[in-house]
Amino acid sequence: MAVLPLSKAIVGMTRFELATPRPPDVCATGLRYIPNTIGLQIYNLKLHSKIQNKIYLRSLMKVLIKGTQIIDSSSTFHLQFVDVFISDGIITAIQPNLTIDADQVIDMPGLQVSPGWVDVFANFCDPGYEFKETLESGCAAAAAGGYTDVMIIPNTSPALHNKSSIEYIAQKSSRLPVSIHPIGAITKNTEGKELAEMYDMHQSGAIAFSDGTNPLQSSGVLLKALQYVKAIDAVIIQLPDDKNISANGLMNEGIVSTRLGLPGKPAIAEELMIARDIELAKYTGSKIHFTGVSTKKGIDTITAAKKEGVSVSCSVTPYHLFFCDEDLTDYDSNLKVNPPLRTASDREALQQAVLNGEVDCIATHHFPQDTDHKMVEFEYAKNGMIGLQTGFAILKTVLPQVSIEQFVKLLSTNPRKLFHLPTAAVAKGNAACLTLFSGDKSWQFNGSDIKSKSKNSPFVGMQLTGKPIGIINKDKVFLSQQ
């Protein structure tokens, strides 16, 4: 196979050139798209002096994964160590000791494979805030974190509140290795006043509906939205936060906020919203999902509603499982989030809810913020942290007693069922939508590992357990290491 110079390479029907420094029209891998009519074999491209990635940006021919453990309770090969052969994006053979010629062989100690992971609440900031994140850089972070599918919130400029905006995301992301699913806004401009074109957005590919970081405050508007989406069997996603209560709160209200001299946001602001919205969902018979639940009472209320037959589900963030308000004593603005970090007892209750199966799925709440909006006084810092690359590792680190099957259920099986995504089972004849990872691998997350355009992570420098290796999705392979 011909080896091309590092400054120029050709893959399939597209030529790529290194772009350094990277202008806005260049994808997160540092490559510029240029039409080409010449086709060559897959190549290895060293993107950075310290990190060697193998990134395939064309349809694959044949890929062989050697000696991997299948983590998929729906598969007949669940927990078995086998070889997986993929031809033209389709799983064509699963058995031990396959001897088949392949264009790419993936052979790593401790490698595990599961159905592709799904993140249900992330912000890729495109359009309007590309200085924080782009679809390309967000996809690079997602793939490095093991996510094949990401649901992105509508808080962009303009907001994702009509058919054309949803189609923009679908078209722009069609060639990326991660499947991006836009969440359509419930109201125009996510202002909480007038319902947006939800039916048209649904027809164009909106996977669910939410006003994202601007949760609906009006009971009447939410009632109408729940009634509207019932006809199309869609889900309303709410970030539970009553902004009429301590709108200027910077952290959880309690002993720690008093000691630090910061205005607090009480847990009741979240719990009232959850209770109200559950009653509205019960009244309409529609589906509602709460994301970023951070209090024990919030989880208990949702669990009780499930037992009553209400169509309610919930997700928690990895950072609410890892941190609590006591970690804010040094005013780290990377820990300024909404809902805020709660008490240690709330954190323990969330961890127990994951263990008990009361939590349906995990949402990274990947919210990139540039330096100007994060490296400032705590009072002026914007909410949010990046989380796609560290989500799985945080779960494994803080909850080592949870089985790997349960993690896959939280990251893949449940969100796919809740939001009507294909199951992505690891089975012969299925399209390959796979996450590759090593559940027991210990590693350190460094700033140089960050694929996102923003660097606002409190986990930089931490030793974590559970390493995402990459993904195979949409006939493409992304490996964060080889």
**C-alpha dist (Å) from residue 231 to 120, 128, 199, 226:** 22, 32, 9, 9
Work out how many domains the chain is built from and give that number: 2
Q: Flag the least confident range among 44-58, 311-325, 345-359.
A: 44-58
| Same domain as 280, residue 153 | yes
Res. 49: pLDDT tops 90 = no
> In whole angstroms, what separates CA 404 from the centre of its chain?
18
Structure letter (DSSP) for residue 381: P
Q: Is residue 32 part of a domain?
A: yes
* Position 29 confidence tier, pLDDT thresholds 50, 70, 90: very low
| Same domain as 282, residue 145 | yes
Q: Is residue 221 part of a domain?
A: yes
CB of 192 closer than 8 Å to CB of 165: no
Instruction: Dump pLDDT digits (tens) for 60-119.
Output: 579 999 999 999 999 999 999 999 999 999 999 999 999 999 999 999 999 999 999 999
Q: Is residue 94 part of a domain?
A: no
What element of type H or E holds 141?
helix 135-144
> How far is the C-alpha of 301 from the C-alpha of 417, rounded, in Å?
22
∠ CA 81-85-87, nearest 5°, is 165
∠ CA 278-279-280, nearest 5°, is 90
| Same domain as 19, residue 161 | no
> How far is the C-alpha of 454 from the C-alpha of 461, rounded, in Å?
16
Catalogue the E-assigned strands of 299-403.
Answer: 312-316, 361-362
By DSSP bridging, strand 312-316 and strand 287-291 are parallel
Res. 148: pLDDT tops 70 = yes
| Same domain as 42, residue 135 | no
Domain span at 144: 117-418
Q: Is residue 383 part of a domain?
A: yes
Q: Which of 387, 418, 449 is the last residue of a domain?
A: 418
Please say whether the dihedral angle defined by the alpha carbons of residues 118, 122, 125 and 127, taken in this order, is positive or negative.
Answer: positive
Q: What is the pLDDT of residue 247?
A: 85
436 forms bridges with which residues in the sheet? 113, 470
Q: Is residue 400 part of a domain?
A: yes
Residue type, 293: V
Q: Is residue 154 part of a domain?
A: yes
What element of type H or E holds 348?
helix 344-356
Instruction: Dump pLDDT digits (tens) for 264-289.
Output: 999 999 999 999 999 999 999 999 99
Structure letter (DSSP) for residue 21: S
Residues 6+ apart with CB under 8 A from 310: 278, 281, 282
Residues 6+ apart with CB under 8 A from 480: 53, 143, 144, 468, 469, 470
